[in-house]
Structure 1
């Protein structure tokens, strides 16, 4: 989820924690425990200061893994108890553990996903039923905070919200399943199915759809139950092994291949004899442009001159970023 949603979740959990007698000694310590626990897994955002490849490789990676889901609450407990002895350390740890767990748990439901089961497996868990920012979820949490602020008991303010959210998530799974079935019927499975991707947008009734077969890539959107494919592109074979030897160790390419769950390749010979290899994530088509790509430019000697990975929303900006270094 986005930072704003994690913050309002932390405030909601703070309201509930105020009913714990062991946390009643300091509201500041209680709020710090729950809000910090709701945000601390995203401390990996600091990697953005280095470069996109490092950020994408690490965001929601090890900081959302099993060891760190255990480590973060211990760290928060140590810091909180250092500055406030008016709360019970065991209860601080338990509430911090709940906040961290919920952060990691809700993140697996969007298309970015997390490596929540690391080190058991480095596979990205991407259930793709909730958008990174979901207005309905955000508004529900905000309503709970407002109702609590008006003096309503935290249990009455937030337990109905938890129930509504459970129902909401079930509805989103059912919607995803229905759209997947509609999309597959629409292409009539003309060829052997390779992969299907259905993910939400910020609009409740609009979903992104991408289907790969052994011959074509289909990319489009659903509006209600009506799926509209805006692209049907013949699949290109992967670059030759010889060509891959030149690019497979590039940091941006490796990051893309590890992160993207459904993509295609494009190769282009340029007028000066150089070659462009582009990896296109099919999950992010909007207004005729794929916003998440990795691109490598090779000269005549097959030496990498430039490479880039990231989200760019126009071809002009992509070219500027490619040659920025």
Structure 2
């Protein structure tokens, strides 16, 4: 999810920790857990430093090893050890570790429910897993947890402080219920889309939007990609693309781009690939796109490669052709 949401959930996890009597009784432990869950809720995204070596390198690294199974255990240890020393809570080291572990696991879990996906089963597999259920930013979850954080701030020194843990327990129960409802909604719509297109065995991705009543979808058959939307339960096809081969069986113009850094990074991550090319006066332009991330009949995520007349790579550009606040939110 987005950074603001991850940090907010770090705050509310510290509030949930107030269910533990020792946290309420020992302010130092409470402060250590708050610092730890804040850091832990963002720690897997420290891979953003890979941007220093370019966006292509970032795409290869992001949501990879820092979100892996070993990282789930290593991040809490790296964070809890110095915090235990700083706040003098060595006697509660296990409790501190567990709450930071919860923050890291919750971060990776939320990323798993996003369309972008995560390599959370490394080192056993480098497969990208994504449950296509939540947007990068979920207004309901953000609003619910913001409400809890504001109430906590208001009662921090008040009589209601004793019930902070119980309040956040209800908020997290509501959050998990919301995610389950969205996941169930997704499963039902996937079945509906396959039935509508008569493609029972086709791969189908649903892309959530900020609205509960609107989803986008991508269906991949043997020969085509079908793009459409579900609005208030009604399924509509908006666009379709023919599948073009890439790799050793592709056109020489397409093959010539396979060595470009941007294309290698793109192929590391992309799953529903559409590639096209066109001739120009001074060479060729090859466009690689992941059709999962379509919006308004456009494919905003991919890599453009410029070739000269001799099929030498002149330049390549990987990224999003959209404003940050525009859909899709992945």
TM-score (norm 2): 0.87
Return the alpha-carbon distance in structure 2 between the equivalents of residues 164 and 258 of structure 1: 36
- Equivalent position of 2:317 in the other structure: 308
- Equivalent position of 2:59 in the other structure: 56
**Structure 2 residues not aligned, in runs of 5+:** 324-330
CA RMSD of aligned residues (A): 2.1
Alignment of 1:119-130 (within 5 A): 119-130=123-134
Return the alpha-carbon distance in structure 2 between the equivalents of residues 176 and 91 of structure 1: 36
Correspondent of 1:299 among 295, 308, 311: 308
Bigger shift: residues 120-129 or 251-260: 251-260
- Equivalent position of 2:7 in the other structure: 7
- Equivalent position of 2:328 in the other structure: none
Return the alpha-carbon distance in structure 1 between the equivalents of residues 169 and 88 of structure 2: 29
Structure 1 stretches of 4+ with a deviation exceeding 4 A read: none
- Equivalent position of 2:117 in the other structure: 113
Deviation at 1:21, TM superposition (A): 4.7
Report if the CA contact (8 A) 2:16-2:169 is conserved: no
Bigger shift: residues 81-90 or 274-283: 81-90
Alignment of 1:45-124 (within 5 A): 45-86=48-89, 88-124=92-128
Report if the CA contact (8 A) 2:219-2:226 is conserved: yes
User: Higher relative contact order at CA 8 Å, sep ≥6: structure 1 or structure 2?
Assistant: 2
Return the alpha-carbon distance in structure 2 between the equivalents of residues 22 and 163 of structure 1: 22
Aligned length: 311
- Equivalent position of 1:39 in the other structure: 42
Distance 1:58 1:98, change over 3 A: same
TM-score (norm 1): 0.89
- Equivalent position of 2:135 in the other structure: 131
Report if the CA contact (8 A) 1:73-1:93 is conserved: yes
- Equivalent position of 1:217 in the other structure: 225
Distance 1:307 1:193, change over 3 A: farther
- Equivalent position of 1:232 in the other structure: 240
Correspondent of 2:183 among 157, 173, 179: 173
Deviation at 1:311, TM superposition (A): 0.7
Bigger shift: residues 278-287 or 109-118: 278-287
Report if the CA contact (8 A) 1:289-1:313 is conserved: no
SS of residue paired to 1:289: coil
Return the alpha-carbon distance in structure 2 between the equivalents of residues 160 and 75 of structure 1: 30
Correspondent of 1:156 among 152, 158, 166: 166
